[in-house]
Structure 1
Amino acid sequence: MDIKKGNKVKIICGKDKNKEGEIIEIDRKNFRAKVKGLNMIKKHVKTTKEKKGGIFEKENFLNLSNLSIISTSKKEIKKKEAKK
């Protein structure tokens, strides 16, 4: 089964072990994915004319080998139900 954006996954190891979330971004070249609300890091942003600076939290990439698929996206589930 292929991991896609929108799939619900469970983290197998690391600081967020046994937590679940939805994939929001995939980097297939580097074999990594971002999971919504998990593996948070602090990003220091410098103030510019357009944006206010500060310390922001954002998701960081996880290796795909540390993820386990729980369920596929809602669209795929609807397609499977329609075929039955």
Structure 2
Amino acid sequence: MKIRKGDTVEVIRGEHRGARGKVNTVLLGRDKLGHRDPNDVRVVVAGVNLIIKHQRRTGNVRTQVGRIEREAPIHVSNVMLVSPKSNEPVRVGSMVGADGRKVRREAGTDEAID
């Protein structure tokens, strides 16, 4: 995956364009049969794409009721990873590191990200 939990990303498309935040969750899409769908990967970014969910009481279960504000998922194609070194949005590629493992890299500079 090019975007992982804990990465800082910047939104590049949509209503929240230019907003930055940390990735809380990466949601892998599934098709009707339960197989992974690589075209439907979404991320939940802290403080971005806030929605209000109206939650009603359901039985005697102790859940929060009323208007709940929370982050909604964004498609992974609408965010870019922010480089920890240059603090700019960068494209992400992959390469084989010195130890033989696959590592993420910045597409323009070929520097390893992690």
TM-score using structure 1 length: 0.77
Per residue, is there more strand in 1 or in 2?
A: 2
Distance 1:52 1:45 in 2: 7
Q: In the alignment, what sits opposite 2:27?
A: 27
Q: In the alignment, what sits opposite 1:45?
A: 55
Q: In the alignment, what sits opposite 1:36?
A: 46
Greater C-alpha radius of gyration: 2
**8 Å contact 1:7–1:71 — kept in the other structure?**
no
Q: Which has the higher contact order (CA 8 A, sep 6+)?
A: 1
Distance 2:53 2:64 in 1: 13
Q: In the alignment, what sits opposite 1:59?
A: 71
CA drift at 1:53:
1.4
Structure 1, unmatched stretches of 5+, are 73-79
Deviations along 1:8-41, one digit per CA (max 9) or x if unpaired, are 0000011111010000001122311000010001
How many residue pairs align between the two structures?
73
Distance 1:61 1:25 in 2: 9
CA drift at 1:52:
4.4
Q: In the alignment, what sits opposite 1:3?
A: 3
TM-score using structure 2 length: 0.58
